[in-house]
A and B are shown apart, each in its own frame.
Chain A
Amino acid sequence: MNTVQYGRAFVFGDSVNTDALAPGIYMKHPIGTIASHCLESVDPTFATTVRPGDVVVAGKGFGIGSSREQAAEALKHLGVAAVLARSFGGIFYRNALNLGLPVLVCDSVDGIGAGDLVHVDAATGVIDNKTRGTTLSAAPLPAFLLAMIADGGLVPHLEKRFADRRAAARQS
C-alpha cells in the first residue's frame, strides 16, 4: 500500500527569524526544550499543536538571522515534514538540508491556507493541496542534495562515505 501522507499547513508571514525559531534564552538547553518554545513569539500555540507530518509555509526570508542550527532542528524535532517559503535565510537553508529537513523555495505559497492538507514532493517540487484540490510547484532540489536528504542529512551521508572509505581501505 502506498498512500500519500498529507500534513496540515501552518502559515506564517515574512521574516520569521532564528530568534523566533530557537529563542536565545533556551539555547543552553536540549533540543526538546528549545522546540517547545519554537515560534512562540509569533504563534504561541504552534509548538503544542503541530504534529509530525505537518508543513510550515511562509513568506520571504524564513530563517533569517543566526547560524544556530537549532532553528531548523526544532522544526525537525516537532516532526515538521517540509518548509515552503518565498525565500530563506542562507544559513538556515543549508542547516535544514543538512539535517534532512526539506526546504523548498515556492513563489505560490499564497495558494496554501492555514490548516490546508498538503503533500510536498521534494524531488519534483510538486505540492498537492488536497483541501483546495490544487497543485502548486516549488523549485526542486538538485540531485546531490536529494541524495543527502534521502540518507537522512549530512551526518548519515558522510558517515556512509567514511564507512565506505574504511571498507575500501580494508579490501586493498
Chain B
Amino acid sequence: MGMTLAEKIVARAAGRGHVTPGEIVTCAVDLAMIHDSGGPRRVAPILKRFGVGLWDPGRVVLISDHYVPASDEETRRIGEITRKFAAENPLAGFYDGEGICHVVLPERGHLRPGMFVVGGDSHSPTGGAFGAYMFGVGATEMAGVLATGEIWLTVPETIEIEWSGRLAPGIVAKDIMLFLCAKLGMEGGRTQAVHFRGEAIRSLGMQERMTLANMTAEIGGQTGLVDPDDTTAAFIRRAGAEPGDILRWQSDADAKPTEHHRFDAGTLVPQVAAPHSPANAAAVTEHRSVPIQVAHIGACTGAKIADLRMAAQVLKGRKASVPLLVAPASRRDQEAAARDGTLQILVEAGAKLLPNACGMCAGYGGALDEDVTCISSIARNFKGRMGPSSARIYLGSPYTVAASAVRGRITDPRELLS
C-alpha cells in the first residue's frame, strides 16, 4: 500500500522504507527552530547538565519574538541569554526582533518540502504549509533534540480535509480554520497529521496556507500539510532557497488516509469564535452587533502581509471607531506593507502599530485592560490569553476584525467590501 505525504516524510526521517500509523519510530531531525521564551533560557542549562553542545548548530535556527522588545529587567535578561547563545553557536540563523518565528523561518528560506522539522512552539505546524513535517515540542524535549538530533514519534494517522470549489470574496483561510475548530472540536487528542487538499486550497497563496497549517494546532493536529506545488516552489525561490524535488513529496495515489472530510468552500461564510475557545466559532451573523472596545490584528496567524492587505481592503478611506492595534508579523512584511501603501491605509484608519513580535497574542508582551471585549485575528481566545481573565476575546479573519473596528461592533466584512 502507498504512503501518505506525512508517512513518506516520517519514513525518510526514520530511515525506513515504510511506516504504519501507530508504530513508534525514532526520527532524525533536519532542522530545529527555537525562540527566546522556550529556547536558550530553558535549553542551555539542560545541555550543560548533559555536558554536550548542539548536535549540529548548522541545523538550528533561533528567533527572538516572544519578549521583543524587552520591557523590564526579566525580559532584558532573557534577551541577553538569547543573544549570548547565538554568539556562542554557529547557528543556521539568528533573527532578533525580525518578526514571529513561524513567519520568519520560511521567509528566510529555511523550509522546503520533505523536511522533518521540530519547533519549540505550538504553532510550529505552520511549516506544514511547505510540505514539511513540522511540529511543536516543549523545552525539555527540544533540549533532547538539540543534544541528540533525534526524537521519538508515534507515526501519525493522516486526516485528509478536502475543500472543493472556491472561497467567495471576503472569506479566507482563517474562516476555514475557525469553521473546522467548531466542526471537529479541539479535544481530539489524536496528534494526527492533517492534510489539506482540494481546489480551494490549491488556489491559496503561501501565507494563507500558513494560516491553515498554523491553526491545525487548535484542532489537535501534530502538523498541517499542504501538497507542495508551483506556488510553494516560487515562494521558496523568492526566499533565496531551492525547493528541491517537489514531485517526490506527494501522497501516493493508493495511500489510505484514516479519515477524509470534504467541505464546499463556495458555501463558507465569515466565521467568528466567541470567548473562550476557537471551537465556539459560528457564522459572523450569529455574533453580529456584539459591541467591541478593541480590535487587534496580530500574530503569526493573523498579521502577515496577506492579512494586512485584507484589513486595508476594508479600511481604505474609513476610520476605526475603536482602538485598532496592528502588530505586523515580520519586519519584512511591514516593509512590504509600507511599499505598497497598505501600511498608510491602516495608519490613516487610526491603527496603532505595535512591534513585529508575538506581543499581546501570547499575553507575554502587553495585555488588554480588564473587562474589555476585543476582536482579534490571533489563533486562540482562551481565558487570559491576552492578559486579564476578565477580557472577552472574539476571533475573526483580518477582514472581519477590520470591519468590526470600523463599526465598533462585530460586523460581517462583506457589508463593507464592494
Contact = CB atoms under 8 A, between A and B. Distances in A.
A57 to B, nearest CB: 15
A155 B380 contact: no
25 contacts: A14-B187, A15-B186, A15-B277, A23-B363, A24-B385, A41-B383, A59-B187, A64-B186, A65-B382, A67-B121, A72-B138, A87-B190, A90-B189, A91-B136, A93-B189, A94-B137, A95-B137, A95-B138, A95-B140, A98-B140, A99-B140, A154-B140, A154-B143, A159-B49, A162-B51
User: In the complex, which of the residues A41, A99, A105, A166 has the most CB atoms of chain B within 10 Å of its own CB atom?
Assistant: A41
B137 A67 contact: yes
A20 B143 contact: no
| Interface hub of A24, A91, A154 (most chain B Cβ within 10 A) | A24
B385 A61 contact: no
Nearest to B72: A28
Interface string A27-54: 1110000000000010000000000000
A20 B120 contact: no
A155 B148 CA distance: 12
B376 to A, nearest CB: 14
B189 A23 contact: no
Contacts of A91: 122, 136-138
Tell me whether chain B's interface is mostly helix, strand or loop, or mixed. loop
Interface residues of A, number: 44
A61 to B, nearest CB: 3
Contacts, number: 134
Interface string A12-24: 0011011110011
Interface string B188-202: 111100000000000
Contacts of A29: 74
Nearest to B362: A24
Nearest to A156: B49
Contacts of A25: 363-364, 367, 384, 387
Contact of A69 (B139, B148, B152, B367): B139
- Give the top 4 A-B pairs by smallest Cβ distance, nearest first: A87-B189, A24-B363, A61-B187, A69-B138
A5 B189 CA distance: 30
A166 B51 contact: yes
Contacts of A137: none
A159 B143 CA distance: 11
B187 A60 contact: yes
Contact of B138 (A28, A41, A67, A86): A67
Interface in B133-153: 136-141, 143-144, 147-148, 152
B287 to A, nearest CB: 20
B382 A17 contact: yes
Contacts of B24: 142, 144
Contacts of A27: 37, 362-364
A18 B367 CA distance: 17
A153 B140 contact: yes
A94 B120 CA distance: 13
A61 B189 contact: yes
